Amino acid sequence: MAINRREFNIGLGAAAGTGLLSSDMTKRALAAPAYKGPNVIIIRFGGGVRRRETIDPVHTYAPNLLNVLTKRGVLIPNMTIAKLEGVNTSHAEGTLNILTGRYLAYRDTSTRPLDDRLEPILPTLFEYFRSAFNVPSHRALLVNGEDRPQEEFFTYGVHGHYGIAYRSEMLSLHRFKLHKFASILKEAKLPDAELVKVQNQYDKLLAADRRDLAPRQSLEVEEFWEHWRMHYGDTGLKNPRGDRLLTEIAIRALGELKPQLMMINYQDPDYVHWGNASHYTRAITVIDDGIKRLVAAVDADPDYRGNTVFVITPDCGRDANPITDIPFQHHFNSRAAHETWALVFGSGIVKNRTLDKPVDQTAVAATVSAIMDFKAREAEGNVLSELFA
């Protein structure tokens, strides 16, 4: 079956190495030093959560986080999202606050109501990291949920000195489907009528990325997806779903791709918008269990053990408004929606400490850059020096 023109253009971008790159940018990337560590795993304790159900000892649904992991590092219970004009307490915005260290460091490219399509205009941590060190793209990973397709495009921004040259790779069900459909079309084993349906599905997925150039995933990531396909097949009925899927992808990535900077965007607490509070509390427990598995995987792997830092923090908070149909909200710009927290533990981090001071959400990017020894030049937050042993 013929590949469409857009797929051909994507292939050209991949053949050029990184798409719209100048030779100067390529030379700078290759001349950068190798990165020796520590590795950093950022976990978005996702979909907006309250302190009460996460770090409150009486009401927590995350007992491993609170009772085990806090003893391994520094708990920051009073992190907040600044109340500034235009700053929304939602998932994409909060994630970009974490990745850029700035508020409003994005532009809205939505073309219809509720599209919620944001694009970074300042460098992300991944771009800073890969510009400072000679790190291949498959070792800078974003792991995204299937119900947040608008976050598929946080892999690079539009800043002139960073951008696509230093992008991260995305691991998600969306990206696996792209790989799967492309493979099915190449294999051409199905009847023609079925191949037409596959081509239509493939084109629809491609159309979700409206940027001028969307490079292919690296050969290493394509191989990762082929292993995933061999294990779980094409039906989508065997692999985990929701946040359990993200945990499974991340653990497999640790073993196969060996990322040195990875962010996992958990999301399931936001299912509370269906109206059932148990969707929210159960999702917190699922994330807690997922983090427990991730930490165990790191502790068991000689490539990561003793040389990895975990940074765990929500994208935004939540309130509990009894007069709304859905009691747990984050869209009303309430005080609780601005209240988050963070936990940092691992190599070089002080153990069993609580940082009892107000901390702004933008401090996450500045602190990660200090841990990894690169400069996040556009980040506004303060480095949390109290974390370091």
Q: What is the pLDDT of residues 96-122, one digit of tens each?
A: 999 999 999 988 888 776 667 888 999
Q: How many domains does the chain have?
A: 1
Does 345 map to a domain?
A: yes
3-state DSSP helix/strand/coil % of the chain, to nearest 5: 40, 15, 45
Could you give the CA distance from residue 272 to residue 162 in angstroms, rounded to a whole number?
37
What angle is formed at CA 220 by the lines to CA 101 and CA 237, rounded to 5 degrees?
90
Does 302 map to a domain?
A: yes
Average pLDDT over residues 310-335: 80
Average pLDDT over residues 201-206: 92
- Assign 3 a pLDDT band (cuts: 50, 70, 90): very low
Does 3 map to a domain?
A: no
Least confident of 129-133, 186-190, 232-236, 277-281: 277-281
Does 130 map to a domain?
A: yes
Specify whether the CB–CB gap between 54 and 341 falls below 8 A.
yes
Range of the domain at 141: 35-173+236-387
pLDDT of residue 275: 67
- Cis status, amide bond into 302, omega within 30 of 0: no
- DSSP-based three-state secondary structure for 196: helix
Is the pLDDT at 227 greater than 80? The verdict is yes
Is the pLDDT at 372 greater than 50? The verdict is yes
- Assign 5 a pLDDT band (cuts: 50, 70, 90): very low
pTM for this prediction: 0.90
Residue 74: its H or E element: strand 73-80
Is the pLDDT at 17 greater than 60? The verdict is no
Residue 167's closest CA among 348, 19, 372? 19
Specify whether the CB–CB gap between 40 and 239 falls below 8 A.
no
- Assign 20 a pLDDT band (cuts: 50, 70, 90): very low
Q: Which residue has the higher pLDDT, 318 or 175?
A: 175
Could you give the CA distance from residue 264 to residue 311 in angstroms, rounded to a whole number?
10
Least confident of 178-192, 206-220, 255-269, 288-302: 206-220
* Cβ-proximal residues to 128 (8 Å cutoff; 6+ apart), any chain: 162, 166, 369, 374, 375, 376, 377
Does 111 map to a domain?
A: yes
Specify whether the CB–CB gap between 79 and 343 falls below 8 A.
no
Q: Which residue has the higher pLDDT, 331 or 260?
A: 260
Does 155 map to a domain?
A: yes
Q: For position 335, which CATH number holds?
A: 3.40.720.10
pLDDT of residue 303: 95
Average pLDDT over residues 316-327: 74
Does 29 map to a domain?
A: no
- Assign 137 a pLDDT band (cuts: 50, 70, 90): very high
- Assign 12 a pLDDT band (cuts: 50, 70, 90): very low
Least confident of 2-6, 160-164, 302-306, 385-389: 2-6
Does 269 map to a domain?
A: yes
Q: Which residue has the higher pLDDT, 87 or 125?
A: 125
Average pLDDT over residues 230-256: 95
Average pLDDT over residues 358-378: 96
Task: Provide the mean pLDDT of the chain.
Answer: 88
